[in-house]
């Protein structure tokens, strides 16, 4: 994975260089909303990401400071993937994407509850998610 030259000096453009590919935000979603934290769990996403792509995206997300690799408390064979603060701060983007989808697309029944929560109290949902994530991180690393 080579360092990608900036396409321009626009904030949107270089944000997209960090997470604007086909998979990165889905990985972030899984780390964030689905409480996944190992390679194996991430590989079992609904979208069936290829394992080589998963590895490549995890590396690039790490290089971009969005996630970090830690020792897994349960086993040396596992790796603990966690969002950094920079990654956690992607929550508002993920939330807005969900809300846009809610307005314009069919949301499957099982996802409606979560999206409703976002809609009812966006700021609260974000605050809550951040707190839950951080609590889970402390739990895992202690």
Partner DNA sequence: CACATTTACTTGTAAAATGCAAGTAATTAT
Partner DNA sequence: ATAATTACTTGCATTTTACAAGTAAATGTG
Give residues in contact with a copy of itself (CB under 8 A).
7-16, 20-22, 25-26, 29, 45-48, 65, 86, 89-90, 92-94, 96-105, 107-108, 111, 115
**Which residues make beta-bridge pairs with 69?**
81
Using a 10 angstrom Cβ sphere, with 0-12 exposed, 13-18 middle and 19 or more buried, the burial of residue 114 is middle
CB of 23 or CB of 125, closer to DNA: 23
CB of 45 or CB of 117, closer to DNA: 45
CB of 43 or CB of 130, closer to DNA: 43
Instruction: From 26-34, 54-62, 111-119, 125-133, give the range in contact with DNA by CB under 7 A.
Output: 54-62
C-beta of residue 28 within 8 angstroms of C-beta of residue 61: yes
What is the C-alpha to C-alpha distance for residues 134 and 16, in angstroms, rounded to an integer?
A: 25
């Amino acid at each position: 994975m080579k360092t990608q030259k900036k396409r321009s000096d626009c904030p949107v453009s270089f944000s997209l260089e960090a997470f604007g590919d086909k998979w990165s935000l889905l990985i972030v979603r899984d780390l964030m909303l689905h409480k996944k934290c190992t390679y194996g769990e991430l590989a079992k996403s609904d979208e069936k990401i290829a394992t080589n792509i998963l590895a490549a995206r995890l590396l690039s997300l790490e290089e971009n400071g969005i996630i970090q690799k830690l020792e897994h408390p349960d086993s040396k064979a596992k790796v603990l993937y966690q969002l950094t603060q920079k990654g956690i701060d992607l929550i508002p983007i993920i939330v807005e994407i969900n809300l846009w989808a809610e307005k314009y697309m069919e949301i499957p029944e099982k996802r409606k509850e979560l999206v409703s929560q976002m809609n009812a109290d966006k700021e609260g949902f974000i605050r809550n998610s951040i707190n839950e994530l951080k609590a889970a991180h402390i739990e895992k690393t202690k």
